Amino acid sequence: MSQNVYPVKKGNEYELKIERLAFGGQGVARIDNYVIFVKRALPGDHVKARIVKRKKDFAEAFVTEILQPSPYRIDPPCKYFSWCGGCTWQNMKYEDQLYFKREIVRDTLTRIGGFNEVEVHAVLPSPEYFAYRNKMEFSFSDRRWLLPEELNQAHISKEFALGLHVPGTFDKILHIETCLLQSETANQILNFISDYARKNNLQPYGIRSHQGYLRFLVIRESAFNGELMVNLVTGLDEPERLKPLASALSKTFPQVVSVVNNVNTRLAQIAQGEKEHLLYGRSYIQDRIGPFIFKISANSFFQTNTRQAEKLYEKAIEFAGLDSNSVVWDLYSGTGTISLFLARHSKKVIGFETAVSAVQDARQNASEHGVQNAEFVEGDLLKTMPTVGERPDVVVTDPPRSGMHEKVVRMIKDIAPQTIVYISCNPTTLARDLKILSDRYRIEKVQPVDMFPQTYHIETVVQLKRR
Ligand SMILES: C[S@@+](CC[C@H](N)C(=O)[O-])C[C@H]1O[C@@H](n2cnc3c(N)ncnc32)[C@H](O)[C@@H]1O
């Protein structure tokens, strides 16, 4: 499309009818077949929207006025919904979110993979669709994003915020008092720390200025026994300043069994420190998936929706169709949680993982649970897969959002296991990888699992059989 035939112009407003939802959560509208992604819009909405970005193949817009609301629209229960980057679909009933997640998986498999005939099962719903997260990461900032109703309130300081990002801004933070994705206790802790920091002059870190002390607050809560961990991430290595806060937290909230201080003096805005100080209690909490109890430290990876993780893993086991003679490769094995489940049903599991600390955790998890038939190979799959001689009957693969490297997909094809179970958190890369496998593998089952209610994210488990 040449420059002068774009049907829209940046900054202008257009009347649009939303046709469907895209993976990414936005509504999709079209003018003369030119696609416009509209934030926070739902299928059936008739809206006025302003174009904020215009590219060769598509534009992005936000709603300025709803002319006719979609029948799917509900009032979002959270007052921050219109601004917060955490949730995308709180303006839709949970049943409708599940319907659209299935549509997105089906549509992506057809559009990108060319799989027109594949049946996609109804999405497995999450047992909880609010307060389901066992971990939330909040940012401190010296630049607070004000809600419209806060704009004229002189008593609100713009120089302190503890909350979540507003999409499109990198340094301003929406101050949050209640996040519906975490528990009531976790919200009380959030407010306790925010009040304490202001009263005791613990300065928030400036994302722009790189000055200040408090950078992140990470709250982790066990779904198994309610234990809580508070991780305060600071820009300076001065843990003594936090000791009184740790003590006050432990006295006010008996469920807090761990308070740690991660120190991140680097510019990168990440909640992982180069150093950790234990301020109160122990350095981990315990949570359980199925029969396994895991120790989770501040920087360990753990599935954020504990109860639904169990359902996801059960589905993976069912699709793997194992028996006591099966050799299984668990690719992208992380801390080995799936490997432990697989090991109970097979002769041997070999996990492959590049992160050194995750491999250490996996080995420790296996040994603590007395699992003797799981071993872990450390390194990039491209290098490690060819070095393992024991060939698998079943390959389980759970790659990051970017999917598998094309060479890894081709190696799996050459190894030719009877069954492949692909666990994916991104339908787009899933469809791409399945297409490469399709001449040698038949898709038998596609089961989406909802790990993240109120967001567009969807996990999908696919069973493939060798042709
Ligand atoms: C989605 S996580 C899988 C987590 C794990 N299966 C679980 O359920 O806990 C993806 C994992 O792949 C690992 N990874 C990414 N690229 C890799 C590569 N090239 N080779 C091996 N592992 C890799 C990451 O370190 C991460 O632990």
Calculate mean pLDDT across residues 302-331: 97
Q: How many domains does the chain have?
A: 3
Integer Cα distance of 128 and 436 in angstroms: 36
Q: According to the model, what pLDDT value does residue 443 have?
A: 98
Task: Assess whether the C-beta atom of 333 lies below 6 angstroms from ligand 1.
Answer: yes
Q: Check whether residue 458 and residue 354 sit in a common domain.
A: yes
| CA 18 to ligand 1 centroid distance, Å | 36
Task: Assess whether the C-beta atom of 398 lies below 6 angstroms from ligand 1.
Answer: yes
Q: Check whether residue 268 and residue 310 sit in a common domain.
A: no
Last-in-domain residue among 28, 57, 73: 73
Q: According to the model, what pLDDT value does residue 47 have?
A: 98
Which atom, in ligand 1's list, is nearest to the CA of 334? 27
Q: Check whether residue 109 and residue 184 sit in a common domain.
A: no
| CA 330 to ligand 1 centroid distance, Å | 10
Task: Assess whether the C-beta atom of 72 lies below 6 angstroms from ligand 1.
Answer: no
Q: According to the model, what pLDDT value does residue 367 have?
A: 96
Task: Assess whether the C-beta atom of 400 lies below 6 angstroms from ligand 1.
Answer: yes
- Is there a catalytic annotation at residue 425? yes
Q: Check whether residue 315 and residue 460 sit in a common domain.
A: yes
Query: Hey, which of 314, 354, 384, 425 would you mutate to test ligand 1's pocket, going by the most ligand atoms within 8 Å of its Cβ?
Result: 354
Residue 450 belongs to a domain: yes
Q: Check whether residue 434 and residue 322 sit in a common domain.
A: yes
Q: Check whether residue 143 and residue 287 sit in a common domain.
A: yes
pLDDT in tens, 208-245: 899 999 999 999 999 999 999 999 999 999 999 999 99
Q: According to the model, what pLDDT value does residue 23 have?
A: 85
| CA 334 to ligand 1 centroid distance, Å | 5
418 annotated binding-site participant: no
Question: What residues make up the domain containing 167?
Answer: 135-297
Lowest mean pLDDT among 46-55, 116-125, 355-364: 355-364
Residue 350 belongs to a domain: yes
Q: Check whether residue 286 and residue 373 sit in a common domain.
A: no
Residue 85 belongs to a domain: no
The percentage of residues in the chain with a pLDDT greater than 90, rounded to a whole number, is: 89
Q: Check whether residue 50 and residue 180 sit in a common domain.
A: no
Q: According to the model, what pLDDT value does residue 148 have?
A: 87
pLDDT in tens, 148-174: 888 888 888 899 999 999 988 888 899
pLDDT in tens, 402-427: 999 999 999 999 999 999 999 999 99
Task: Assess whether the C-beta atom of 380 lies below 6 angstroms from ligand 1.
Answer: yes
Q: According to the model, what pLDDT value does residue 449 have?
A: 98
Residue 81 belongs to a domain: no
Q: Check whether residue 313 and residue 408 sit in a common domain.
A: yes
Q: Which residue has the higher pLDDT, 38 or 269?
A: 38
The percentage of residues in the chain with a pLDDT greater than 70, rounded to a whole number, is: 99
Report which protein residue has its CA nearest ligand 1's atom 11. 332
Integer Cα distance of 125 and 135 in angstroms: 20
Looking up residue 339, the CATH number of its domain turns out to be 3.40.50.150
pLDDT confidence bin for 300, thresholds 50/70/90? confident
45 annotated binding-site participant: no
Residues 6 or more apart in contact with residue 388 via CB below 8 angstroms: 329, 350, 377
Q: Check whether residue 186 and residue 330 sit in a common domain.
A: no
Residue 44 belongs to a domain: yes
Query: Beta partners for 15?
Result: 48
353 annotated binding-site participant: yes
Q: According to the model, what pLDDT value does residue 4 have?
A: 57
Looking up residue 242, the CATH number of its domain turns out to be 2.40.50.1070
Q: According to the model, what pLDDT value does residue 347 have?
A: 98
Calculate mean pLDDT across residues 171-197: 97
Q: Check whether residue 183 and residue 46 sit in a common domain.
A: no
Q: Check whether residue 158 and residue 178 sit in a common domain.
A: yes
| CA 436 to ligand 1 centroid distance, Å | 20
Integer Cα distance of 359 and 380 in angstroms: 12
Looking up residue 19, the CATH number of its domain turns out to be 2.40.50.140
Last-in-domain residue among 240, 275, 297: 297
Residue 173 belongs to a domain: yes
Residue 123 belongs to a domain: yes
Last-in-domain residue among 268, 297, 326: 297
pLDDT in tens, 3-54: 557 899 999 999 999 999 998 899 999 999 999 999 999 999 999 999 999 9
Calculate mean pLDDT across residues 319-323: 98
| CA 369 to ligand 1 centroid distance, Å | 21
Would you say residue 310 has pLDDT above 80? Answer: yes
Residue 18 belongs to a domain: yes
Would you say residue 362 has pLDDT above 70? Answer: yes
